[in-house]
Amino acid sequence: MNNPGWNAGLKPNDKQKELKNLLLNRLTSAELNHLYDILTGQKQGLDTYYTNTTSGNRDDEFSTQLATQHQKAVKDFLYRESEQFNRNRINHSTLIKELTNQGIPLSFFQEHEPRYKQLLLLTYHALFDQPDFDHEYEKLLAKCRLFKENTGRTYTYEVIRL
């Protein structure tokens, strides 16, 4: 799909260029490819993204398309990556348990030892195609959230829809 006319008509404005540059600076080629496939509905097996190293020759194409066609989803992802998915806010073992319950194999976690950014991508991989992604994401986040208490415990609660 290396078509020189792939971006015909896609001329990002300044905000979209800034978003594109953020993607290129904050994600590796494999992570960018994974996010692109998730947001465009073309998910593949996890090993496709994390076992084989990608050369990055399509990073510009992926980041431009994401910044122009999936702007809100990309902004949400980048916000979640910087503000919600880090070791100070997420209980790592609880998140792995929840993602395993969502179908991500435990062997994947053992083999690849994903960082928090990759854990967010795995969360998107497991939940993004669900009809109410935001609700499911918030529910998973609530189960895995760390509270800054002196006890060092993680508290879980159930989100009730009214």
The pLDDT of residue 110 is above 70: yes
Quick: pLDDT tens for 116-142.
999 999 999 999 998 999 999 999 999
b/e string for 20-45 if b means 16 or more Cβ within 10 A? Answer: bebbbeebebbbbbbbbbbbeeebee
Are 33 and 49 spatial neighbours (Cβ–Cβ below 8 Å)?
Answer: yes
How many domains, in total, are found in the chain? 1
For residues 156-162, give the mean pLDDT: 63
* Domain containing residue 75: 14-144
92: helix, strand or coil: helix
Quick: pLDDT tens for 45-87.
998 888 766 556 788 999 999 999 999 999 999 999 999 988 8
Longest Cα–Cα distance of the chain, Å, equals: 57
Residues 6+ apart with CB under 8 A from 120: 77, 80, 81, 84, 85
Q: Is residue 3 in some structural domain?
A: no
Rounded (5°) CA angle 47-135-75 = 65
Q: Is residue 60 in some structural domain?
A: yes
The pLDDT of residue 6 is above 50: no
Tokens of 62: 């992926």
Q: Is residue 80 in some structural domain?
A: yes
Question: At residue 144, what are phi and psi to the nearest 5 degrees?
Answer: -105, -5
pLDDT of res. 4 = 40
Residues 6+ apart with CB under 8 A from 125: 34, 38, 43, 46, 104
d(CA 27, CA 122): 14
Q: Is residue 103 in some structural domain?
A: yes
pLDDT of res. 69 = 93
Q: Is residue 8 in some structural domain?
A: no
Q: Is residue 112 in some structural domain?
A: yes
Q: Is residue 38 in some structural domain?
A: yes
Q: Is residue 130 in some structural domain?
A: yes
